[in-house]
Amino acid sequence: MADQPVVYSNRPIDTTAATTINIDFSSDLTLQHESEVPLTTLLNRLRALRTQTHEFKFAIGRFAPRTSLADSLTAAGAVGATAVLNVTAGTGVYFVAGDTIEVPDDNNDATHTNQLYVVSISTDALTVRAYDPATFGVAQIDAAAVVRRISPAMIEASSGTNSSQTVPTVYSQYVTSFEHYFDITRLQDQNRNYTGPERSRLREEARKKHAVDMEYAFFLSRKVKDTVAGGTGKPRYQMSGLIEQVETGGNILNYGADLQDTELYDFMTDVHSPMYSGGNKRMVLASGDLLGDVNKMANDAIRISTKDTTWGPSITEVQFAGKVWEFVECPTLSESRSGWGIVIHPRYLKKRNFINTMYEMNVQNPIDKFYKDGFYTVCALEVRLAEVFGIIRP
């Protein structure tokens, strides 16, 4: 077979690198189109991780929970006496004998003096007494009162606490295959129908389709292993997109016709909860309508400013109570989820590559009188610690 021609072009993708070597074109995929596909651009610039299978798992280790709820009323006891405090089923493992805990009494004691010492534990039943048994007894504790672990305070010369550990949450994810090819005959390749090499023009068209389709999937895809489409042994995989994964974190703001300033800064406070703060900065991938609501806000409590970039998307920065959110408009959300915004933390976002973005040339039988070129990527999105993310939607 004769050598196939190689297209040389000053376009963003250099096809001289399209060889059998596994070169990753992902960083070039969105070049000069960062504003159209900001999420894909961000993921391609972050450090990606490899996966060896179409279905992979990842575990999230979180802070051990510190609170439970009283399952039933606990009657007041005499000075120095013990009492049994039942907590929500399955949460007794949050505590160990020797812990100091804090529980409001039936008067919801604002001074928080009702501290208790955990003497022993049987499943979800905590035997407790007052932290100072020489002075206090256990005050009455109402059902549903918050039981908060403070810390252990061990007896001197004791043999220490019992072992305490939690099981991480394990998630599974599928990768999605993205393919965008084009066919061009050898005669068409030699013609200058649109003032330049037709093969180069079609390559750019495929590149844009590839980037935009990945952007939509990263946002909107719902996880499935479809065994019907391809038949036995040939499943069709869809990844779980950003919205589906962030929904599991529980930080969702549903607003009315327009987003109000008080709703925004209350939500900012909720997202930056103490145990899952992830720092004081977030990025918000927003639709144009949501960004318009933010820019119209006039409140002394919120500082709003625009940060211009030389190339790429402009950023609207919102500051409240030391929290900084950077809003970036995403055309995908503007078109498909009007009024939405996805609060993200880039540190906890990962692109998982099964097959890096490839640009394949001359994919056909030798006898064929055409060239088939295109882009091919197999990847997935991984969201770690969804509690630091959030969703704003009407």
* pLDDT reported for residue 221: 96
pLDDT of residue 17: 46
pLDDT at 245: 96
Please tell me the distance from the alpha carbon of residue 294 to that of residue 320, in angstroms, as a whole number.
13
* 322: nearest Cα among 379, 364, 354, 279: 279
Half-sphere exposure of 223 (CA within 13 A, CB side): 17
**Half-sphere exposure (Cβ direction) of 117: Cα atoms closer than 13 Å:** 16
Name the helix (H) or strand (E) containing 187. Answer: helix 186-190
Q: How far is 147 from 70, CA to CA, in rounded Å?
A: 6
DSSP H/E element including 148? strand 146-152
- Side chain identity, residue 270: D
Q: Which amino acid is at 53?
A: T
Supply φ then ψ for residue 232, to 5 degrees: -60, 130
Is residue 184 a contact partner of residue 202, using CB atoms and an 8 Å limit?
yes
pLDDT of residue 276: 64
The DSSP bridge partners found for residue 342 are 285, 391
Ordered by where they begin, the domains of the chain are: 15-60+171-393 (3.90.1690), 67-152 (2.40.30)
What's the first-to-final CA gap in the chain, in angstroms?
60
Q: How far apart are CA 242 and CA 247, in angstroms?
A: 9
Longest Cα separation, the chain: 98
332-379 confidence digits (pLDDT tens): 999 999 999 999 999 999 999 999 998 888 877 777 778 889 999 999
Give the list of residues 6+ apart from residue 285 with CB closer than 8 angstroms, or none.
38, 39, 219, 242, 328, 330, 333, 341, 342, 344
Closest by CA to 380, choosing from 279, 238, 200, 196, is 238
- Strands 349-360 and 49-50, bridge-based pairing: parallel
User: Is the pTM of the predicted complex or chain greater than 0.95?
Assistant: no
pLDDT in tens, 66-109: 889 999 998 988 999 999 999 999 999 899 999 999 987 655 55
3-class SS of residue 217 = helix
Both tokens of residue 83? 């009492």
Whole-angstrom distance, CA of residue 113 vs CA of residue 108: 10
Backbone angles phi, psi at 119, to 5 degrees: -80, -45
Q: What pLDDT score was predicted for residue 124?
A: 94
Residue ranges for the chain with pLDDT beneath 70: 1-22, 105-113, 274-277, 298-302, 304, 306-313
**Residue written as tokens 């003497």?**
119
Both structure tokens of 292? 């318009």
Please tell me the predicted confidence (pLDDT) of residue 352: 94
Q: What is the pLDDT of residue 240?
A: 96
